[in-house]
Amino acid sequence: MDKNSITGIVLICAIMFAWMWYSAPSKEEIAKQRRAKDSLELVEKHKKDNALSLELRSQPAVVPSGKENDSVFANTTQDTSSSLNGRKEEELADRVNKFDVFASASRDSNRFFTIENELLKATISSKGGRICSVQLKNYRTHDSLPLNLFDPDSSSFGILFDTENNRTINSSELYFQPSPSPSLPSRESEKGVQKLSMRLYATRDTSTLKGRSDEDSYIEYEYSLTGNSYMLGCKINVVGMQDVIASNLNEFNLNWGMKTLSQERDILTQQQNSTAYFKYLEEAPDYISETKDETKSLSAKIKWLAFKQQFFTSVIIADNYFDKSGADVTSRNEKSSTKYVKEYAANLTIPYAHKPNESFGMRFYFGPNHFQILKKYDLNLEKQIPLGWGIFGWVNRFLVIPVFNFLDSFNVNYGIIILCLTLVFKTLLFPVAYKTYVSSAKMRVLKPEIDEINQKFGNEEPMKKQQATMALYKKAGVSPLAGCIPALLQMPILLALFRFFPSSIELRQQGFWWAHDLSTYDSVWNFGKFPVIDFIYGDHVSVWALLCTITTLIYTQMNSQLMSGTQNAQMPGMKYMMYFMPIMFLPFLNKFSAGLSYYYTLANIISFLQMWVIRKYLVDEKKLHAQIEENKKKPAKAPSSFQQKLQKRLEDVQKKRNG
C-alpha cells in the first residue's frame, strides 16, 4: 500500500468520525427521544392490556368451586392488582417525566371562579389559572345576548419556561389552586377591591405526588378588581423557584391569544375595524393593518398590546414593560366560522433573576373603545379609535368629540344630538358658504363680458382668451379661486365626521326613527344575496343612504345653476362627474353607518336653507354688479408674485405650442 492510499484512508476515517461527532444528538435531543420512546412504549402497553382485558371479558365466566378454584381466583385477583399498580406507576413516571416537579398539578378537575364589579365579570379557570372569559355587563350583542369578549374555547394564556431537569413547562396545561380561600375570591369591601390568587405549586418529592409537599415554591397569578372599573390587575409572583427553574433562564415567555367573538350584525365590517395594536415604551402606538393577515416582530420594549374589536378591546399593560426578546404579535381574519371575527396571538417576555421572591406587575383592560374612558388612563389607549390621521384626527379630538360630549350630557335621543351637531357645524361654516355664494354671484354678473371674450377669440387663440379673461377678473376685483378656497376649508370637518360616526360606541344600538342602530346600516328591506349585486350594493336597502344620495344630487343641481356658464363650459366633464359621484357612493353608504348618512342628509338640507337665505336676504346681484363696475374704474393693482409666475408660465406654454 503506497503513501497516497494510506493518506486517503486516514482522511476518509477522519471525515467519518467528524461527521459522526457533528450529527450526534445533543443531551436535550436524547432526552426528548427517550421521552418519546417511553410514551410510545406506554401506549403500546396500554393497547396490549386493553386487548387482554377484552379477551378475558369475551371468555365464558367460570364460577369457582373448591380449594383449587379458590386458589386460581386469588392468583387472578393478585395479578390484576399488580397490573393496575404497574400501570399507575408507569403513568406516574410519565407525568413526572413530562411535568417534572409540577406533575402533581397535571391532574385535577377544572373549576371556575368569578371576580366581578358593576361593569364586568371575569371568569377564571383553575386549569392554567387564567382569565378564560370576560362579560361586559352594560352591553349586549346585536341579538340581545350577553356580550362576552372571548370564551374558554377561544382563548389562551400561559407562561413557558424550562426546569433544571430540562423539561419545558407550559402553565396553561397545569391546574392552579385558589389561595387563600378554596372557593371564593377574597373581598376587601372597605377598599372596594376584589382579589383572587391562583397558585401553581411545585412538588419536590415526586415519588408519590400525594398532597403538596412544598407550599413555599409556587407561581402565583394575583388578580384584583376595583369597583366601577374596566381595569383588572394581574401580578405574577414567582416564589421559591430559584432552584427549580433552569439556571441559564433569565426570562419567561408569556403567550396570550384569543379568537374574538362576533358582537355586531355584519362580520365583514367587524373584520375591517379589528386589528392588533401595540405601544413601545418610548413611542406612539402602532398597529397591524386591518386588511392583512400578518405576524409582526416587536423590536423594542413594549408598554401595552391590544386585541381590538370594532367597539371593544382587550389590552395587556405592563407596569414597567415587556421585553422585546422574541416578542411578536399575530392578527388574522377568521375564515372558518362566523362565530369569531379575528384570531390574535401574542408572544411576550418577562424578566426573571432567580431571586427567592420576584413579581411582575401588569393589568388588563377589558372594555369599550370609548374615547373618554380610554383617555383617562393616560396610556394613549384612545389611539385605538380610528379618528383619522393628521388634521382630521385633530378636528375629531379637539372639536367634534367635545361638542358631541356636551350635547350628550343633556341625555336626549342620539338622533336629536346628531341634528344639533349638524346645526352647530353648519353655523360655524356659514361664513364659508356665504363667501362661496358671493364668488359664484360675481362670476354670474361677469358672464356677459366673458361671453364677449369667448366670441372675440374663439377656440383658435386659447392663450389670448385666457389672458383677456384674467385681465377682466383682475380689473373687476374678482378671483376665480375665491369660491374654491372656502369650500376646501370645510373639508376637514366633513372628512373628520366620516371617521367619527362609524367609530363612536355611543351610537351603538341607539335607534332613531326606522334605524334601530345608528352605528351600522339601517335596513328596511332585506332582499337576499344575489351574485354581483350583493358584492357591489349589498343584500338590503338603506333608507338613510338613499336620502343622502337624493339630497346630494339636488344640492349638486343647485350648485350647477349657481355656477356661471363659463365655469360649466370650461369643465364639461366635471359637471357630469358631480352628478355621477353621489350615485357611485350609494353602494358604499348602503353598508355604512346610518348615523353618517343621516348627518350628510341633514347637512344637505341645511345647505339648501342657507343658500336660500343668502340669495333672498344677503346678496343683491344688482348691487354686486355696481360694485364690480366701480372696481373697474379704479387703477389696477400690481400683480402679485404668484400671478406674475402664473402669467409667465402661461406665456412659456404658448411659446412652446407656437414654436
Q: Could you confirm whether domain 108-385 is CATH 2.60.40.3950?
A: no
CB atoms within 10 A of CB 108: 13
- Residue 48 confidence (pLDDT) above 80: no
Per-residue pLDDT at 447: 75
Per-residue pLDDT at 622: 72
Mean pLDDT is highest, among 6-20, 201-215, 288-302, 530-544, for 288-302
Cis before residue 368, ω within 30 degrees of 0? no
Closest residue by Cα to residue 219 from 235, 196, 195 = 235
Per-residue pLDDT at 152: 92
pLDDT band at 167 (very low <50, low <70, confident <90, very high): confident
Closest residue by Cα to residue 157 from 38, 266, 253 = 253
Distance, in Å, from the CA atom of 47 to the CA atom of 28, rounded to the nearest integer, reads 29
- Residue 286 confidence (pLDDT) above 70: yes
Distance, in Å, from the CA atom of 9 to the CA atom of 131, rounded to the nearest integer, reads 65
pLDDT band at 40 (very low <50, low <70, confident <90, very high): very low
More confident residue, 479 or 546: 546
Mean pLDDT, all residues of the chain: 79
Mean pLDDT is highest, among 313-317, 443-447, 620-624, for 313-317
Cell of 430: 356659514
The residue type of 134 is V
Q: Which of 463-467, 497-501, 563-567 shows the lowest per-residue confidence on average (mean pLDDT)? A: 563-567
pLDDT band at 492 (very low <50, low <70, confident <90, very high): confident
**Percentage of the chain lying above the pLDDT 90 cut:** 36
3-state DSSP: the chain helix, strand, coil percent, rounded to 5? 50, 25, 30
Name the phi and psi angles at 515, rounded to 5: -85, 120
The residues near 164 (Cβ < 8 Å, ≥ 6 apart) are 243, 244, 245, 246, 247
In this structure, which long-range contacts are made by residues 623-627, counting pairs with CB atoms below 8 Å and at least 24 apart in sequence? 624/438, 624/441, 624/442, 624/445, 625/445
pLDDT band at 16 (very low <50, low <70, confident <90, very high): low
- Grouping H, G, I as helix, E, B as strand and the rest as coil, residue 128 is coil
Per-residue pLDDT at 429: 85
More confident residue, 109 or 567: 109
pTM given for the model: 0.76
Distance, in Å, from the CA atom of 600 to the CA atom of 581, rounded to the nearest integer, reads 14
The residue type of 213 is S
Q: Which of 10-14, 66-70, 95-99 shows the lowest per-residue confidence on average (mean pLDDT)? A: 66-70
pLDDT band at 485 (very low <50, low <70, confident <90, very high): low
Per-residue pLDDT at 76: 47
Name the CA radius of gyration of the chain, rounded.
38
Average pLDDT over residues 123-127: 94
- Residue 576 confidence (pLDDT) above 60: yes
Residues 437, 562 contacting (CB under 8 angstroms)? yes
Average pLDDT over residues 172-177: 92
Per-residue pLDDT at 107: 86
Distances (CA, A) of 273 to 130, 343, 409, 589: 27, 14, 27, 16
pLDDT band at 98 (very low <50, low <70, confident <90, very high): confident
More confident residue, 659 or 463: 463
Per-residue pLDDT at 183: 45
Structural domain boundaries in the chain = 27-55+66-99, 108-385
Residues 129, 158 contacting (CB under 8 angstroms)? no
